[in-house]
Amino acid sequence: MTAYQPTLDFARQLDAQDPLRSFRQQFHIPPAPNGDAECIYFCGNSLGLQPRTARAAAEQQFRNWQELAVEGHFRGDTPWLHFHKRVQDAAARLVGARPVEVVVMNNLTTNLHLLLISFYQPTPTRYKVLMEGGAFPSDQYALESQVRLRGLSPDDAIVELTPRPGEHTLRTEDILVKIEELGSSLCTVLMGGINYYTGQVYDMAAITQASHAVGARVGFDLAHAAGNIPLHLHDWDVDFACWCSYKYLNSGPGGVAGAFVHERFADQPELLRLAGWWGYDEEQRFQMKKGFRPMRGAAGWQLANAAILTLAVHEAALAVHEAAGGMAALRRKSELLTGYLEFLIRGLGLPASRLEIITPQDPAQRGCQLSLLVHQGGRNLFEHLMAAGIIGDWREPNVIRLAPVPLYNTFEEVFRAGEVLRNWATSRPATEKEKKVTHV
């Protein structure tokens, strides 16, 4: 455990000792809203920064399109026909999978729908689906529509987990008890690997084991987990998962997403799915025959050929991630960065009636993000941070999410954010008018 100190010299000492300090130079840091040359960007949990190699990667494919046109599928230094395979191994390492278990395609919610078609197959007696209450809206809407597609009522079929009274996060034992309680009525469990609002990391291995024990399938939305925490989907025996690439993977707004299907389903062509021609056996794909014959593994869930421009940016971003040493190295720095931010915030000595950190204190139960529940003047504090050049994320009704990302954030930035918070904490209390300001 690092003995933190609330001084600028200490923060600079940590930066000098940081083996990842040079990677910040591989990203474009936006200017601050207050006019400073660079902002303090603590919003990588919403949109990661642009790698300096991203533009050149996209430009290369623009040139190929310009010079080769349709022949770019088969010619050039990066033929488009198999371009998606260029990132397959890196994607597998990212989520702790075997290459056959992953495919990079579509966007997250599209992939979630495709996977739920296969892994939410209710029967008259086994039809319940379990999720965390307050999940990201896309997950809620996806499940509602999937349940209705089966002629069921979401109010009956969807079971939501909520924290105990007075608590902000779920206890693992309560999740496992609910799984056992639902028993043979439980068809599918779908949870976020990390809850977007609180920043809580769920015990995916324990949830998977408990779900399988009652005969249910289990999957995870890894939007806030991929590139943030170590994942071991194959070893945890997870059935399916999906993730986006524009947060901690820095692959651009709306960047291409990923999907995982465990290897035990790799040779089950009869498994119900929504089919598209790019998921067809590639050895016979261009014969244009009727009768779907899926590729082996996760590739069999593909619908269409890859979006090359976004995939090129993703490849460039993954290369930076891997050059940093992958999740093991990033996780070591992440725990230190987030721990330092927590240390500085708790050092303010604010009562819980004014500000709470609702993200778990245990580093094993959180990633980069700390969620601050601000009971008095939350919007005022958010604007105060923005005015000081610190970009975070505001979530209604009164939560500020701050995410120091190990690839490009520094300990000095965390210290300076702590000073801004200290300035706010020692200033006059928020007025009633400020408390009523709403997010536009």
Q: What is the pLDDT of residues 66-99, one digit of tens each?
A: 999 999 999 999 999 999 999 999 999 999 999 9
In this structure, the answer to whether residues 83 and 184 fall within a common structural domain is yes
Give the model's pLDDT for residue 34: 79
Shared-domain flag, residues 97 and 225: yes
Query: With 70 as the cut, is the pLDDT of residue 355 above it?
Result: yes
The answer to whether residues 155 and 259 belong to one domain is: yes
Of the residues 260, 290, 321, the one at which a domain ends: 321
61 within a domain of the structure (yes/no): no
Query: How far from 367 is each of 45, 359, 372, CA to CA, in Å?
Result: 10, 9, 14
Task: Give the number of other Cβ atoms within 10 Å of residue 303's Cβ.
Answer: 15
Residue 313: per-residue pLDDT: 98
In a domain, 408, yes or no: yes
Within a domain: 67: no
Q: Is the pLDDT score of 398 beyond 70?
A: yes
Same domain, 138 and 162: yes
| Statement to judge: residues 233 and 352 lie in one domain | no
Task: Clarify whether residues 41 and 127 are in a common domain.
Answer: no
The chain-wide mean pLDDT, for the chain, equals 95
With cut-offs at 50, 70 and 90, classify the pLDDT of residue 427.
confident
Mean pLDDT score, 250-275: 97
Are 199 and 145 contained in the same domain? yes
25-41: pLDDT as tens digits: 999 999 998 787 899 99
pLDDT given at position 270? 94
CATH number of the domain residue 29 falls in: 3.90.1150.10
Give the burial string for 216-253 (b: 16+ CB within 10 Å, else e).
bbbbbbbbbbbbbbebebbebbbbbbbbbbbbbbbbbe
Domain harbouring 153, CATH code: 3.40.640.10
Taking 90 as the threshold, does the pLDDT of residue 431 lie above it?
Answer: no
Residue 264 lies in a domain: yes
Tens of pLDDT along 329-346? 999 999 999 999 999 999
Instruction: Read off the pTM.
Output: 0.94
Domain for residue 65, yes or no? no
104 and 225 co-located in one domain: yes
Number of domains present in the structure of the chain:
2
Q: Indicate if the pLDDT at residue 439 is higher than 60.
A: no
Question: Does residue 35 share a domain with residue 100?
Answer: no
Residues 314 and 334 in one domain: no
Domain, as residue range, for 368: 8-51+325-428
pLDDT number for residue 429: 57
Query: Is 278 part of any domain?
Result: yes
Using the 3D structure, point to which of 321, 355, 390 is the last residue of a domain.
Answer: 321
pLDDT tens digit string along 102-117?
Answer: 999 999 999 999 999 9
How high is the pLDDT of residue 1?
Answer: 52
Measured CA to CA, the distance from residue 225 to residue 299 in angstroms comes to 22
Q: What is the three-state SS of 3-23?
A: CCCCCHHHHHHHHHHCCCHHH
